[in-house]
Structure 1
Amino acid sequence: MTRTDSDKDVVGVLLDRYGRTYAEEAGIRLADKPSPLYQLLVLATLLSARISSEIAVAAARELFAAGCRTPRSMREASWQDRVDALGRGHYRRYDERTSTMLGEEADLLIDRWAGDLRRLREESGGDTRRIRSLLTAFPGIGPTGADIFLREVQVVWPQVAPYLDDRVLDAAGRVGLPRQSGPLTKLAGSARDLARLSAALIRVSHRKGTADEVKAAARSSR
């Protein structure tokens, strides 16, 4: 069996067991439209904190259920409404600070880009590094948050695909996959599966012993 065949087995296990994007988990029907793109930005903000991804996703779902699906509805919600929604998702360590950031984030998006992240992309000229830099202007979105957003948005923004940040590449190495963007992109086969693979690798990197389980499952499938 060639190295490529064994890598395909590992990728197959990752996609099968852990290959759901965080946007999908949060109930976001991702499309190149203002509302779902904004929801992804909110999710990236929540995932950026030192808190479990499960809690961040739950908090995002609570915010969306409370009607905070657009920057205008987020801005119109009271600070306490946002705190309460975050609390229902058990996002309690950072709820007050995050409520403030989400309000400021919505204000910036409305004031600078008319509530439409596609305008941010246009301002960047489609350059991925520039998009990443502009994203970090949002409160709560640092380099980590920008990477999270770009990993997922590449499904609907072909300008940024393929997007693989250092955290994903390091996680790939832990399961025996190449640490290079080119080979991983080829193994995934599409932007959607690359986003799924990235999410799977991040999940595996956060769960002790899971990398060994993935490698064992891949070997047993041969």
Structure 2
Amino acid sequence: MAGTTRRDVMHALLDTCGHTYAQDAGIRLKNTPQPLWQLLVLADLLSARISANIAVAAAKELSAAGMRDPRRMADATWQERVDALGRGGYRRYDERTARQLGDGARLAQQRYGGDLRELREEADGDVDAMRTALQEFPGVGPAGADIFLREAQAVWPEAAPYFDGKAMQGARALDLPAKPGALLELTDDAEPAVVAAALVRVALDKKAPEAVREAAHA
């Protein structure tokens, strides 16, 4: 990394990869029921062993089919969910995921009245409690909970800074600091959710670290 600083690398990272997965999926993230539900669906899809691009495309198709809140997701038939996932290219896990999304939607309605802000309220701002509660949704394991909180920190500030293992893997690939606070100090007040997402993109793409370094040198 001769001739460049860690700040140069961070700025290059944000220039090349600085957008969240919620933004990719067209989710206008706010602390309101519908976008929070859409984010949970996206986190569920992203946590499977499938490309992020396909997961994002599938989330868009579910939304386009009207399944933008727990009630509509639960009211949709299993086949309608399968078809939407298939249109997004999410075919490897489509049948199981369609069932899990329906079950998760019913859980969201029954326990939280369709509003994930109630999950946050029950956790009383405790991030570990939120992470545990998120894993009660079918298909949302530790990785899915991490994805949700990593993105939701933009509207749930008590979760910030949330840099999960995948984000820190990206930091190591770029020889950046191993602590969230130190990472954020290298930015010009960038949102933690954006920084974390950018680092995850580096972790997932073998070519990304070199591309970021080249941009930092330019």
Is 1:52 matched with 2:55?
Answer: no
Aligned residues of 1:147 and 1:165 also touching (Cα < 8 A): yes
Cα distance in 1 for residues equivalent to 2:186 and 2:200: 17
- Give the secondary-structure state (helix, strand or coil) at the position aligned to 2:191: helix
Query: Structure 2 counterpart of 1:144, which letter?
Result: A
- Give the secondary-structure state (helix, strand or coil) at the position aligned to 1:155: coil
Name 2:105's counterpart in structure 1: 106
Name 2:82's counterpart in structure 1: 83
Name 1:164's counterpart in structure 2: 163
Query: Which consecutive unaligned segments of at least 5 residues does structure 2 have?
Result: none
Aligned residues of 2:162 and 2:196 also touching (Cα < 8 A): no
Name 2:20's counterpart in structure 1: 21
The TM-score normalised by the length of structure 1 is: 0.94
Cα distance in 1 for residues equivalent to 2:188 and 2:125: 22
Moved more, 180-189 or 87-96: 180-189
Query: Which consecutive unaligned segments of at least 5 residues does structure 1 have?
Result: none
Aligned residues of 1:47 and 1:145 also touching (Cα < 8 A): yes
Per-residue deviation, 1:189 = 5.1
Per-residue deviation, 1:212 = 1.8
Is 1:183 matched with 2:194?
Answer: no
Per-residue deviation, 1:209 = 2.5
C-alpha deviations, 1:177-213, integer Å up to 9, x for none? 10112201323454x6221121111111111222122
Q: Alignment identity in percent?
A: 55
1:1-222 matches, cutoff 5 A: 6-188=5-187, 190=189, 193-220=191-218
How many residue pairs match? The answer is 216
Cα distance in 2 for residues equivalent to 1:176 and 1:215: 10
Cα distance in 2 for residues equivalent to 1:50 and 1:10: 29
Cα distance in 1 for residues equivalent to 2:23 and 2:161: 19
Aligned residues of 2:58 and 2:85 also touching (Cα < 8 A): yes
The TM-score normalised by the length of structure 2 is: 0.95
Aligned residues of 2:173 and 2:202 also touching (Cα < 8 A): no
C-alpha deviations, 1:63-117, integer Å up to 9, x for none? 0000000000000011000000000000000000000000000011111111111
The structure-2 alpha-carbon separation of the partners of 1:188 and 1:133, relative to structure 1 and needing over 3 Å to count, comes to farther
C-alpha deviations, 1:127-153, integer Å up to 9, x for none? 001100110110011000000000100
State the superposition RMSD in angstroms.
1.4
